[in-house]
Amino acid sequence: MQVNSRALTKRYVDSLKPAAKAILAFDASLAGFGVRVMPSGHRSYFVQYRNKHGRSRWFTIGAHGPMTVDKARKIAKDVLHAVAEGKDPADARKAFRNAPDMGQLLDRYVAEHVRKHNKTTIRAELERVVERYIRPALKALKVAAVTRGDIEKLHRSLAGTPRQANVVRAVCSKVFSLAEVWEMRPEGTNPCRRIPRHPEQHRERFLSGDELARLGAVLRLAASDGLPWIVKASKATAKHLPAEHHRRTVYPRVTTATVELLLYTGCRLSEVLNLRWEHIDLDAGTILLPTTKSGRAQTVTINAPARQILLNLRPDDDAEWVLPGKLDSSKPLKKDAMEAAWQKIRAAADLADVHLHDLRHTVGTYAGQSGANAFLVRDLLRHSDLSMTGRYVNKSDDPVRTLNDLVGERIAAGLEGRPPAVVVPLRR
């Protein structure tokens, strides 16, 4: 139902009485601009126009009350100006409403990129970053509407953990690069560009001789008498608390052997936990790692202490895993279980700031302190830039094996609390 056109004012709009059908009242001074009164009494401003194809379009401006007549009239003029330039604001608004939001983009990123192109360990970390940091901050936004300011705000909110903030920024950059590939954003509009990284303090933690001795003593105690429980002061007199001599936890050999193998081999935790007996050649003194961080198979030389550990672990049956799970030997020891055990072990050894990955740092540091050049250290730790250095260095297995034996002997001596022996390489 349409009423006569007259200049729209607040008083006039308020005076319009609701009817059984919607009432349309147009403004006399601006063609197409009007107000609609619904039977419920709700009033909203709109502008009607014809696009360049001659099709009639309705563009809702906003509700009367929160929006004044003058503000609605100004928006209506902007809409009609856009129409005069050949644009169609109603279609543009509809396209924006139907445009993908960040939730849809992140779902596609995880499904089509992370789960198809990343290894299991990296995949879990990327999904954690998406769910914990990125999705809560950006999920309500349209992909095309995310600005550099939105990313800067998220990046700045994590300044207290600079490394995590930089990881979030890097993941966001990849997400928006894929958004351009998937035509969700125009080319060259990645909002992460020119956002500087937070300065990071890189960890340079490795075990000293005294710390190695303490760790060795704790590992032997853990596998024999067990480590004492950590009892909170409030529970020290609990009624059902076992006697003090029973408050000890004996750790299975696979747990303490994991720590020792990390030190003797310099491998990453995931590489050690996923060792299969079929990949170990004790006669040749090598371990084959079918999958590594570099994305290709690699070979690790075994020094004497590591070989002895593996000999002692080797079962009589056809077991698959070198370090089987404590509850299910058909699966490898779980990372979470090993991390939990390490918390107790490092506390007993007074190594509160030492992470399991720092054992790999210890191997690299000892190798460097032994006088080995950078190329040998890279070979020993199998860093990702081996492909570059290998072009210029004539590598041989013998110097790496000698270096590995030197490092292994120093670590063994530290764990046992004795001076290191002199390792003499055998001549052919």
- Our count of domains for the chain comes to 3
Q: Are residues 142 and 220 in the same domain?
A: no
pLDDT tens by residue, 218-265: 999 999 988 987 655 555 555 556 655 567 889 999 999 999 999 999
196 part of a folded domain: no
Neighbours of 236 (CB within 10 A): 9
276 part of a folded domain: yes
Share above pLDDT 90 across residues of the chain, in percent, rounded to a whole number: 60
- Residue ending a domain, among 163, 181, 199, is 181
79 part of a folded domain: yes
Q: Are residues 223 and 328 in the same domain?
A: yes
Q: Are residues 387 and 265 in the same domain?
A: yes
Q: 147 lies in which domain range?
A: 102-181
Q: Are residues 82 and 170 in the same domain?
A: no
Q: Are residues 284 and 335 in the same domain?
A: yes
Q: Are residues 83 and 213 in the same domain?
A: no
Q: Are residues 126 and 89 in the same domain?
A: no
- Residue ending a domain, among 57, 72, 96, is 96
Share above pLDDT 70 across residues of the chain, in percent, rounded to a whole number: 87
Q: Are residues 109 and 74 in the same domain?
A: no
Structure tokens at 347: 């506390």
368 in Cβ contact with 406 (< 8 Å) = no
204 part of a folded domain: no
Structure tokens at 93: 């608004």
Question: Would you call 249 helix, strand, or coil by DSSP?
Answer: strand
Q: Are residues 228 and 274 in the same domain?
A: yes
264 part of a folded domain: yes
Q: Are residues 177 and 44 in the same domain?
A: no
Angle, helix 102-109 to helix 162-181, in steps of 10 degrees:
90
409 part of a folded domain: yes
pLDDT (0 to 100) of residue 394: 39
8 in Cβ contact with 27 (< 8 Å) = yes
- Which range is most confident: 73-82, 367-376, 387-396, 408-417? 73-82
- Indicate the pLDDT class of residue 386, thresholds 50, 70 and 90: very low
Residue partners of 115: CB distance under 8 A and separation at least 6: 123
CATH of the domain at 46: 3.30.160.390
Tell me which H or E stretch contains 299: strand 298-301
294 part of a folded domain: yes
What is the pTM for the complete model shown? Answer: 0.59
Tokens 């920024």, located at residue = 169
428 part of a folded domain: no
Q: Are residues 278 and 213 in the same domain?
A: yes
Q: Are residues 293 and 354 in the same domain?
A: yes
